[in-house]
Amino acid sequence: RKLWLSYDAGQAWIVISLIGVCIGLNASFLNIVTEWLSDIKLGHCSTAFYLNENFCCWGAEDGCPEWKTWSTVWPVNYLLYILFSILFAYTSAILVKSFAPYAAGSGISEIKCILAGFVMKGFLSGWTLLIKSIGLPLAIASGLSVGKEGPSVHYAVCTGNVISRFFEKYRKNAAKTREILSACAAAGVAVAFGSPIGGVLFSLEEMSSNFPLKTMWRSYFCALVATAVLAAMNPFRTGQLVMFQVTYDRDWHFFEVVFFIIIGIFGGLYGEFVIKWNLRAQSFRKKYLKQWAIAEATFLAGITAVICYSNMFLRIDMTESMEILFHECEGGHDYNGLCESSRRWHMVTSLTFATVVRVFLVIISYGCKVPAGIFVPSMAIGASFGRTVGILVQALHEAVPNSRFFASCEPDMPCITPGTYAFLGAAAALSGIMHITVSVVVIMFELTGALTYILPTMIVVGVTKAVSDRFGKAGIADRMIWFNGFPFLDNKEDHSFGVPVSHVMNQELTVLPSTGMAIREVETILESTEFQGFPIVQDRNSKLLIGYINRTELKYGIDRAKRERTIPPTSRCYFLAPDQTQTPASTVGMTIASSRPFSSGSSSLSLDFARYIDPTPLTVHPRLPLETVMEIFKKVGPRVMLVEHRGKLSGVVTRKDVLKFQFKVENRENPRDDSAEVG
């Protein structure tokens, strides 16, 4: 038995490792393809067309003769750039539409619901995995303002789901599978950002409604394996996991906190603004563009390419532009004169334009029917805004260097590092859109290694969080959940309704009496209702509760009986609590079992479903406050609870009942325009 137990415990680790390896491999494949597709828009490698610019010009800096742009005249290049963008977006959209509609969008909201126990068939299938893995590089390379982390989480979770299906333990046990999926979500973020600990924390803070320490340790392991595989594959050939390594020579000064707070406020406002308008765009999309998903994505890619080619920060890849914006000016990191004080006003204009246009593009692009995340675009927006602030502060300092405000600056030395403002801006925007805190701080470190800026980062993120809490109650993932009406109990809020559970329970019950029901009647009930299960009572008048039977179990029981022998439709069904002879000392609850009138299975005319019955469903008192009921739903996680008083069943309450009531109350208190518009 010990051996079996240790195999059983070990199995989880085998599964996790396997999943981690696959996620890591997939991530490196995606990275390579994305790079190549992005570069092919601008030119091609004359030695081997399958090489991207970096590999083509291996070792050389700033291009090489082997890498050729498509033409020497810029209008042709411009046109080709637009054409490639459109082509990529079109391919991606058509793949998604034809093979796996679930592969569209980010997937984070849906996975949140799945991890909370909601079932969505096909959302984590192998097809979705395949199409998401092919469509994602195309969507990113098309230049749309979309990122790869949401989809990364999605394909990671798909991988986990597909692989764990091969193991019986997980095929049978949904709860155990969910543990694995939580770990996969962590690995997804980990490989998207090269940030293993950030991934674990993201899974903890944003994805999971229930995160015991065991899951944390699994997530840690899965993220570690995936990241290690990614590092070993080394797709960028830089040997670095850290995406944008920066070193800031100067420490920060206390007076800068003022500007950090401004950046933090921007983050909160940005998040709120984008969420609000993006939801409007979504509801417009739902109403009018349902048929035109492919055309829409293609059109968006075209528009994006046309607009963005003109601006130096919009034209290049978002990751690349962030890297440029994060760097300090010292040490030869200059890009098109970003650091020259003579071009300062030009840069401010250019960055502001980039910020505004990108915000607009994100609002209309996020949610279109290609794989699309919102992390990187948000960070890019934050970075360009932050850099603008940084440049302005620098200008201010140079204008009045002797002001008392700047007293702590060393004289005649550069004092402000605009790059750090870009860094903080990215953190603020990310926190603003997702409403997460700790994970943002950790992700930003792991992305850059800017450890001396830990306090500023925490301040900025703290301000953003405070500002966003003023406005809205949740990040974009939760808002999407509400928008789509998924049944998800929000774990973040305390509710105080002041009503007992009897107020929301379902009183029109479909119950099964324990004896005397014909199989025909049972089957009619199964067909005519959609309940997930049925309470069993002694008889319909007394309503004395005996147990609960799941729809699937009941169906399985009937099917099995039918397979064994022919069942006349008038056969009687018996639903009596199973005889628990091992029940100790206590004699309570044994009365029913001992009064059982027949030996199971002896008569072909009476069917015994005892073994399928749960004799001890969770029951609550009708006057129990609704808050306590919600707490039990959230923390202990049953699907349904029976409301019973003194043995008598008075109602049934499900997650959905509670949710519906919560929605009603919340809408009465402060109507949300996003949900109002759809419903």
Of 72-131, which residues contact a second copy (CB under 8 A)?
Answer: none
Q: Is 227 in the site for a second copy (CB under 8 A)?
A: yes
Which one of 618, 639, 677, 678 is in contact with a second copy (CB under 8 A)?
618
Which residues, in sequence order, are CB contacts of 608 under 8 Å at separation 6+? 574, 576, 598, 600, 601
Q: Is 342 in the site for a second copy (CB under 8 A)?
A: no
The strand pair at 640-645 and 619-620 is best described as: parallel
The C-alpha atoms of residue 398 and residue 150 are separated, in whole angstroms, by 41
The strand pair at 613-614 and 533-537 is best described as: unpaired
Q: Is 201 in the site for a second copy (CB under 8 A)?
A: yes
307 to 326, contacts with a second copy by CB under 8 A?
none
Binding window for a second copy (CB under 8 A); candidates: 342-350, 373-381, 559-567, 625-633: 625-633
Binding window for a second copy (CB under 8 A); candidates: 132-140, 208-216, 320-328, 559-567: 208-216
Half-sphere exposure in the Cβ direction for 501 (13 Å, CA): 27
The C-alpha atoms of residue 143 and residue 252 are separated, in whole angstroms, by 35
Query: What is the nearest approach in angstroms of a second copy to the Cβ of residue 583?
Result: 6
Q: Is 241 in the site for a second copy (CB under 8 A)?
A: yes
Query: What is the nearest approach in angstroms of a second copy to the Cβ of residue 492?
Result: 5
Nearest of 580, 587, 592, 589 to residue 515 by alpha carbon = 592
Query: What is the nearest approach in angstroms of a second copy to the Cβ of residue 287?
Result: 34
Query: What is the nearest approach in angstroms of a second copy to the Cβ of residue 455?
Result: 6
Q: Is 458 in the site for a second copy (CB under 8 A)?
A: yes
SS (H, E, C) 194-212: CCHHHHHHHHHHHHCCCCC
Which one of 63, 485, 589, 671 is in contact with a second copy (CB under 8 A)?
589
- For 175, other C-beta atoms within 10 Å of its C-beta total 10
Which one of 213, 399, 407, 413 is in contact with a second copy (CB under 8 A)?
213
Pick the closer one to a second copy by CB: 336 or 408.
408
Query: What is the nearest approach in angstroms of a second copy to the Cβ of residue 219?
Result: 9
In the numeric block, the tokens 């008083």 are attached to: 645
Rg (CA), the chain: 29
257 to 286, contacts with a second copy by CB under 8 A?
none
Binding window for a second copy (CB under 8 A); candidates: 55-63, 125-133, 215-223, 361-369: 215-223
The C-alpha atoms of residue 386 and residue 383 are separated, in whole angstroms, by 5
CA 27 to chain centre: 17
Binding window for a second copy (CB under 8 A); candidates: 120-128, 132-140, 163-171, 210-218: 210-218
Pick the closer one to a second copy by CB: 89 or 474.
474
Which one of 287, 346, 492, 664 is in contact with a second copy (CB under 8 A)?
492
- For 20, other C-beta atoms within 10 Å of its C-beta total 28
Instruction: Let me know the angle formed at the C-alpha of 93 by 358 and 359, rounded to the nearest 5 degrees.
Output: 10
Which one of 66, 69, 205, 567 is in contact with a second copy (CB under 8 A)?
205
Q: Is 491 in the site for a second copy (CB under 8 A)?
A: yes
Binding window for a second copy (CB under 8 A); candidates: 45-53, 491-499, 516-524, 525-533: 491-499
SS (H, E, C) 531-587: CCEEEEECCCCCCEEEEEEEHHHHHHHHHHHHHHCCCCCCCEEECCCCCCCCCCCCC
Query: What is the nearest approach in angstroms of a second copy to the Cβ of residue 229?
Result: 11
Question: What are the backbone angles phi and psi of residue 613, rounded to the nearest 5°?
Answer: -90, 140
Q: Is 632 in the site for a second copy (CB under 8 A)?
A: yes
Give per-residue burial for 562-589: e unless 16+ CB within 10 Å, then b.
eeeeebeeebebbbbbbeeeeeeeeeee
Q: How many residues bind a second copy (CB under 8 A)?
A: 77
Pick the closer one to a second copy by CB: 238 or 349.
238
Which one of 280, 286, 315, 503 is in contact with a second copy (CB under 8 A)?
503
Q: Is 221 in the site for a second copy (CB under 8 A)?
A: yes
The C-alpha atoms of residue 155 and residue 602 are separated, in whole angstroms, by 52
Binding window for a second copy (CB under 8 A); candidates: 15-23, 211-219, 300-308, 667-675: 211-219
Q: Is 64 in the site for a second copy (CB under 8 A)?
A: no
Binding window for a second copy (CB under 8 A); candidates: 15-23, 299-307, 581-589, 601-609: 581-589
Q: Are 428 and 382 in contact (CB under 8 A)?
A: yes
Helices (H), 289-343: 293-308, 312-315, 318-326
Query: What is the nearest approach in angstroms of a second copy to the Cβ of residue 650?
Result: 4
Pick the closer one to a second copy by CB: 539 or 564.
539
The C-alpha atoms of residue 163 and residue 142 are separated, in whole angstroms, by 31
Residue 478: exposure state from Cβ atoms within 10 A (0-12, 13-18, ≥19): buried
In the numeric block, the tokens 């944008």 are attached to: 244
Q: Are 19 and 164 in contact (CB under 8 A)?
A: yes
Q: Is 19 in the site for a second copy (CB under 8 A)?
A: no
Nearest of 143, 221, 123, 215 to residue 178 by alpha carbon = 215
Structure tokens at 643: 């409301």
Which one of 17, 449, 600, 663 is in contact with a second copy (CB under 8 A)?
449
Q: Is 654 in the site for a second copy (CB under 8 A)?
A: no
Q: Is 232 in the site for a second copy (CB under 8 A)?
A: yes
140 to 169, contacts with a second copy by CB under 8 A?
none
Q: Is 507 in the site for a second copy (CB under 8 A)?
A: yes
Which one of 307, 544, 665, 678 is in contact with a second copy (CB under 8 A)?
544
Which one of 60, 647, 660, 664 is in contact with a second copy (CB under 8 A)?
647
Instruction: Let me know the angle formed at the C-alpha of 588 by 580 and 627, rounded to the nearest 5 degrees.
Output: 95
517 to 536, contacts with a second copy by CB under 8 A?
none
Q: Is 224 in the site for a second copy (CB under 8 A)?
A: yes
Pick the closer one to a second copy by CB: 300 or 476.
476
Query: What is the nearest approach in angstroms of a second copy to the Cβ of residue 161?
Result: 23
